[in-house]
Structure 1
Amino acid sequence: MTSVDEPGSPSDRQPGPGLRADAERNRERILTAARRLYASHGLGVSMACIAREAGVGKATLSRRFASREELINAVFADRMDAYAAAIATALAAPDPWRGFVGYVQAVCAMQATDRGFADVLAMTFPAAKALEKRRAETYNGFLDLIARAKATGHLRDDFTDRDMVILLMANAGVIAATADAAPDTWRRLAGQMLRAWAVPGADLPPLEQAPAPTALYRAMVRLTRPAAGPPSR
């Protein structure tokens, strides 16, 4: 793909309305390319690959986003808003236990639809201030939800917020491993973890069926092969 604006071009250097319009177009190209590549390949995609996909020069990408963390912050701002909204919905549920179960399912589903976001929820980015601020706000809401769910008598007393972090890390790995062969495997994982966290007799949604042996075999075979990388053109 030919770059639409090469480093040092007049539109790169001269101020004015034209530059502002070009800069905004380039920013949107970069965000669109990053969203697409992160969603399909996870956060391992290089900045150089994103620049190629967006059709801009590396220097242009660096001017719009000075670091990988800054780009991640911009790409996933709306997803973090949805993440925060999920905890707000859970806290508003009349039954805190049902709110807790719904939150776990919703967040795991968010991971399943976007490999990049699956990685975001399983990692931390200290330099991405806005993203981490949103994460901290959601974390505090989750602590409140845990306390409410335990008060119902349905959530085990030994459950901690770290158990949810463990699930998100495990779910990111399951999604990456089974995306092509058994894309609903994450549902089984989330269901089994909810059963591990619940006290006997707690109300739980039906457990998703385990993936077919052939599907899991394909996923296991896939793990032995070199990962398919993003477009290299």
Structure 2
Amino acid sequence: MPDLLPHILRSDARDNRERILDAARAVFAVEGLNVPMREIARRAGIGPATLYRHFPTKEMLATEAFADQMRACYAIVDEGLADPDPWHGFCLVIEKLFELHARDRGFTTAFMSTFPNAMDFAADREQALRSIAELTRRAKDAGRLRPDVVLDDLILVLMANSGIQAASPTARVAASRRFAALTLQAFQASSPAPDRQEMASSRPLHRP
């Protein structure tokens, strides 16, 4: 029996940790990061002391709670970079990132703020942004993305996407998809206007 006690305690600790993370993910997704830690503990069915024993700060809790979203973010950007058509890859990244962030408001806030006290998350964010910047450069070189688009523009539209208000998560995702389409339309390079010589050569010959 004494030999079983440490195992039982470890099992209880693991269960508590998973309950905390499940509760945090659920509440962050709907309400963002302003939810008090005591409310997360209540939803997890544990006491505040147990919560703080596992996660001393909200930054630490959010960093682990959003680990799956961060991995999904990497996968989306890698998929875009692997596309042989840079513009198609850029569109894919915008559409999928917008939807990912629309489904989880808390992740958007965490991604934008980088949590100064959570260095791992900040480093992950910077790596993702560097990859997006590389994809942006490729789309510009291909002549499909406006040359004046900069990384700050992408961060700006991500922030705007996170501000979409809707009656339900499904409606918010639908609105986010619409916003992504409008964003891509605005970012796409316009076709260069034909010069006068090309216009003259394309005119039909005048027959008397």
Tell me, yes or no, whether TM beats 0.5.
Answer: yes
Equivalent residue for 1:44? Answer: 34
Equivalent residue for 2:203? Answer: none
Equivalent residue for 1:118? Answer: 108
**When the two structures are superposed, what TM-score results if normalisation uses the length of structure 1?**
0.75
- 1: CA distance between counterparts of 2:37 and 2:191? 50
Q: Which runs of 5+ in 1 are unaligned?
A: 1-14, 203-233
Alpha-carbon deviation of 1:42?
Answer: 1.6
**Equivalent residue in structure 1 for 2:177, among 167, 178, 187:** 187
Counting helix residues as a fraction of each chain, which structure ranks higher? 2
Alpha-carbon deviation of 1:201?
Answer: 4.2
**When the two structures are superposed, what TM-score results if normalisation uses the length of structure 2?**
0.84
Q: Which runs of 5+ in 2 are unaligned?
A: 193-208
- 1: CA distance between counterparts of 2:167 and 2:179? 14
- 1: CA distance between counterparts of 2:66 and 2:167? 20
1:132 correspondence with 2:122: yes
- 1: CA distance between counterparts of 2:109 and 2:122? 14
Q: Which moved more, 1:126-135 or 1:139-148?
A: 126-135
Equivalent residue for 1:196? Answer: 186
Equivalent residue for 1:178? Answer: 166
Identity %: 41
1:94 correspondence with 2:84: yes
- 1: CA distance between counterparts of 2:65 and 2:168? 24
Q: How does 1:209-224 map to 2 (within 5 A)?
A: none
| Matched residue count | 186
RMSD of equivalent CA atoms:
1.8
Whose Rg is larger?
2
Amino acid in the other structure paired with 1:91: L
**Paired residues of 2:114 and 2:121 also in contact (CA < 8 A):** no
1:84 correspondence with 2:81: no
Amino acid in the other structure paired with 2:40: I
**Paired residues of 1:72 and 1:128 also in contact (CA < 8 A):** no
Alpha-carbon deviations, 1:183-216, whole Å to 9, x = none? 32222222111111111149xxxxxxxxxxxxxx
Amino acid in the other structure paired with 1:172: S
- 1:20 alignment partner, SS class: helix
Equivalent residue for 1:167? Answer: 157
- 2: CA distance between counterparts of 1:168 and 1:119? 10
